[in-house]
Structure 1
Amino acid sequence: MKNLLIGLGLVGLLTVSACGNKEETTGKTVNEVSKTEAPKKNNTNKEKEVEGLGNYEGLKIGDKVSVKYGSSLEDKVAFDFTLNKMEYTDQSLGGKDPKYESGFIILDVTIKNTGKEPLEVDQITGVQYGSSIVVLGERYDFKDLSENKLLELKESLTGKMVVQYPKKGNQLTWGLEGFTTTFSYDIKADEIGDYVPE
C-alpha cells in the first residue's frame, strides 16, 4: 500500500494543477482560512469538491496545510504539513557533492499526524521542488525525518528534506489530484537563506 501511495504521489506531481485558497499571514492554517473566507471553487472538478480534499496554491513559507486522502484512506491517513524555512548551500552535504551548477535546497518542515492511525514518515515523499523530487533528510545525514519513523496519533516532528537544485524562485508542490489534498508553495529566491550547519 505504501509503494502504491508513493507511486501515485510521484505521478500526480507531474500533473498537479492547483487552485483555491491562499493563506494570509495571520498564523491560521489553510483550513481555518477556508472556513472564514469564501473559497474559490474549481468548477471543472466536481468530484474533488464533494470529497473536500482541498487544493491550494500560492502558499508562503510558514503556512500550514491539512492534508487529507479520499476514498479508502479518508480520515485514517491525514497530516499537517508546514514549510518552516528553506536554505541553500553549494557545499557538500552528508558526504555528497552537488551537481554541476547546482546546490542543495534544504527544507525545514514540520509534520503532524492528524489521522486515526500511526503515520509512516515516508508517506510524505513525493514533494517536488521545480522539476526535482525532494527526499527525506536522512540521505544527507539529517536524522529527524527517516523512512522508518512512525508518528503516533497527534505526534509532530520537525526535520529536514533535501533536493539538489539551483537557488532560484520556484514552486514546492505535493499531491495527486482527486486522491489527496494538493498544494503548492510559491518560493522567491530571496526567501531562501544560506544554510549554516548546526
Structure 2
Amino acid sequence: MYGGYGNTFRNIRVADTLVYSGVTVSSLDFGYPMDEFGSQATTNFENILVERSGGRFWGQQLFGAVWIFSASKPFQGIRFDGLTITDPTYSGIMFQTNYSGGQPQNAVQDTVFTDTTITGAKQNPEYPDRSGFGIWANPMPEVGQGPAVGKATFDGLTLSGNYKDIENRTSTFQIVRTP
C-alpha cells in the first residue's frame, strides 16, 4: 500500500515471499502524484496473516514480514487490527524512515496496532545483528539513510518464540505497548 486514505484491507493471507516484505505500507511517492496517508480518514488492515515472509531485495537491506516505511509523504492514520506474523524470514515488523539530504522526510505518526501476534523470528547467522526481532526500529537500513523516526502504539501485543521480541537502538522512534 503506497499512500491513500479511507481504504480497508481485510482477511488477507500472505505466505512464502522470497524477497522484500510480505506487506508494505509506505508513503514513498516514486515521483508519481499520490495522496498522503490519513489526512482525511484512516487506512485499515484487518485480519491479516503473514507467514514466512520478508527478505532481501536490494543490496544488503533486510525487510521485515511487514515493512512500515515513512517517506516522502506524511505517514499517519494507519490501523492494523488482528495482525498475525509467523516465522518471518528476518523480523516481524520493521519500521524505517526515508532520509533526504541527511534529514528524515516524514515521521511515523498516529499508527496503531491492535491485537498483534508475532512468533518465530529467528536470528540468521549471516545477519546476526539485523535479524530475529519481533519488532524492529531500524537504526541504519542502507547507506545514506538514518534511523526510523516517529512512534507506533501496540494495544494487545503477543510476542513469543522470537530471538528478541523488540529491538530499538534508536533515540528517534518509540514503540509503545498498552495492555
Superposition TM-score, scaled by structure 1 size: 0.26
Instruction: Tell me which protein shows more helix as a share of its residues.
Output: 1
Based on CA coordinates, which of the two structures has the bigger radius of gyration? 1
Instruction: Tell me which protein shows more strand as a share of its residues.
Output: 2
Report 1 or 2 for greater relative contact order, CA contacts < 8 Å, sequence distance ≥ 6: 1
Superposition TM-score, scaled by structure 2 size: 0.28
